[in-house]
Amino acid sequence: MEYKSFFARWRSSFLTGLAVTLPALLTLAALKWLIGTISGVTDLLLFFLPRSLTHDSLIYPNDGKGPMYLYWSVVALALAVVLISAVGVLARYYIGKKVIDWTDRVLMRVPLLNKFYGAIKQVNDAFAGNKHSFKTVVLVEFPGPGNYSIGFITNEQQGEVQKMAGKILVSVFIPTTPNPTSGFLILVPEEKLVKLKMSVADAIKYIVSLGAISQEATPPAKSSWSSSSSSS
C-alpha cells in the first residue's frame, strides 16, 4: 500500500511538473531548431573566408570539416541582418524596385524553380499582410463531415476546374499547425463555406498557438453566399 501511495504521489508530481515545464521545453527546442536552421543559411555568407579559420579544426582535424565556431556564426548572422536591411533600404527607391522586379521576372521564368518561388512568395506576401493573397478567413468542413478547420480563401476564379465541375468552387488553403506555411489546398463549393469576422493575422495566431489563443466568443457568422442563395 505504501508503495502504491508513493507511486501515486510521484506520478502526480511528475505530471504537474511536466505540465509546468513542457511549454518552456518546447519553446527552447523550437528556438534551438530555429537558430540551427538560420545559422545553416547565414553561415554560407562567409564563403570567402578559409574554412580552416571559421570552422573547428582542433576536435575535427580534417582542415575545416568541423562545425563553424559560434562567434563566426554570430558574425554571419550580423552580416545577414545588414544585407537584408540594405535590400530594404534599396527597395524604397526606383532603381531598387526595378532590380527586385527584374529578379522576380527572372526567377519566374526558370522552369520548376518558378513553381516553388511563386508559391513561397505568395505565402510570404500573405503573412506580410498583402491584401491580394489571403482574402478571407473561413470555416470549412475538413478533413471530413462534422470536423471543421480554419482556412483562407486564396482564389474565387477557378476557370477550367469550375467549368468542368459544373458549380462555383472556391480555393481554400488549410494550414497545418503549428507550422502554417504548409497545408492543403482544397476546392470547396461556396455554399459550404462560413465566413468568419476573424482577421488573417488573428487566424494565423490561432493556428500557430494550437488553438490556445483565440478571440472572444461571438455569434456564428452566417455566410453571405448562403443568405444570397436562400433569398434567391
The tens-digit pLDDT sequence of the chain (232 residues) is 566 677 788 888 888 888 888 888 888 888 888 888 888 888 888 888 887 777 776 655 555 567 788 888 888 889 999 998 988 888 888 888 888 888 888 888 888 877 777 777 766 765 555 544 567 888 888 888 888 888 888 877 667 777 777 777 888 888 888 777 778 888 888 888 888 888 888 888 888 877 777 666 545 545 445 444 444 4
The neighbour count for residue 224, using CB atoms within 10 Å, is: 11
pTM above 0.85, yes or no: no
Cα dihedral sign, 151-154-159-160: negative
Q: Are strands 183-189 and 169-175 parallel, antiparallel or unpaired?
A: antiparallel
Amino acid found at 65: K
Record the cell numbers describing residue 196, joined without a space: 468568419
- Collapsing DSSP states into helix, strand and coil, what is residue 183? strand
The torsion region of residue 161 among left (phi > 0), alpha (psi -120 to 50) and beta comes to alpha
Structure confidence by residue, pLDDT tens digits, 136-155: 888 888 888 888 888 888 87
Q: Are 155 and 171 in contact (CB under 8 A)?
A: yes
- Give CA–CA dist 206/61, Å, rounded: 48
